Amino acid sequence: MNKAQIVQQRLDNQRLSTSDFKRPADVVRWLGAVQAQDFNGAKWALAQRMGDTTNALIEKAYNEGKILRTHVMRPTWHFVAPDDIRWLLQLTASRVNTALGSNYRNFELDEATFKLCNKILTSALKGGKHLTRASLKKLLNESGVAANDPVRLAHILAHAELDGIICSGPMLGKQFTYALLEERVPQTKSLDREQALSKLTRRYFTSHGPATLRDFTWWSGLTAADAKNGIAMVERHLITMVHDDQIFWSAPATKTVQSPKARAHLLSAFDEYIVAYKDRKAIMGRNNVSSTVNGLMGPAIIVNGEVVGTWKSAHGNEGVKIEVKLLRSLKKYERPAIKNAANGYAKFLGLQESTLEWHEVFRTLQ
């Protein structure tokens, strides 16, 4: 197996080369979870793995609770499917709490405090109420829990998410709200820990493969021992490949999608195509740029799966202006592919056109 094969299979498995998904929940369920602290970027990440859709349609699905946004891995926000949220939390919550342990101690948040907070939040949200962070802060303060520090408050709410007390509610204008998980999500069949580990492992390598043990450990936040056990449980469903003396696992490849000469994507910040792997060398192509742009965790441009630049946008009433910073020179046919991807982004936003501003920053890096 070579790098080109890794890249093509990841494009196919992540459904960036083609996709028949019609609903946001189908994408989220396929990928297992989708990193979503950048809410607008995460919606665009889902859209690129669907047929024609818009920002408004994905936000509608979010508001209706068909996809949820909560703390579930690493720790950060992820989109998850409602029927997955409970077994995912049972598998990963303890690891996230361990990762946040020093922060809890720094803010004098102990189990007694969390128990009190959960009681306050449950009472405040009971009956299908959806409250903003500001409203919950006020209620916590009135109940004797210091919540004015925004970081302390964030940890209180994250812990309540990890306890399965609260999850995302519908947007209130541009503000996020919280809801009670028990009221927001119908009860589903429970899984024991081995079943949950098996399910998450198979989903990851099916949707993100080819990937390594180290990649899976990074993405899931699980221990290396758990990750190894997960692979052992599902290895009969996977194939192994070797590249650069590393073992990669993936679901058996379906027929490779025949791509046009150049297919470009404007990936959002923390897109799964980049963030889901500890080792990102395969997508760097001819450029060792991983140390130049925050490990490429920000918005990145890929052409045929290879990172060629970064981008940022500004929206107007009718169009979107996109600033492109190229990290290598482009072939003649690659620039139109990037323009086509930009037009797709404008369409997703419900805007009529995109305007690109090109900068060849690779010349200053040489």
- 194-207 pLDDT, tens digit per residue, is 999 999 999 999 99
Q: What is the chain's Cα-based Rg? A: 21
> CB-hemisphere CA count at 13 Å for 299?
20
- Other CB atoms within 10 A of residue 159 CB: 23
For the entire predicted model, the pTM comes to 0.94
Who wins on pLDDT, 297 or 291?
A: 297
- Position 63 scores a pLDDT of 98
Contacts 24+ apart (CB under 8 A), 39-43: 39/69, 39/176, 40/268, 41/268, 41/269, 41/270, 41/271, 41/299, 42/69, 42/79, 42/268, 42/270
* Mean pLDDT, rounded, of the chain: 93
Who wins on pLDDT, 90 or 366?
A: 90
- pLDDT interval class at 134 (50, 70, 90): very high
Give the type of residue at 279. Answer: D
Statement: residue 330 has pLDDT above 80: yes
- Rounded distance, CA 164 to CA 263, Å? 41
Q: Which two tokens stand for residue 199?
A: 């399910």
- Residues 268 and 239 sit within 8 Å (Cβ to Cβ): no
- Position 291 scores a pLDDT of 42
- Residues 24 and 50 sit within 8 Å (Cβ to Cβ): yes
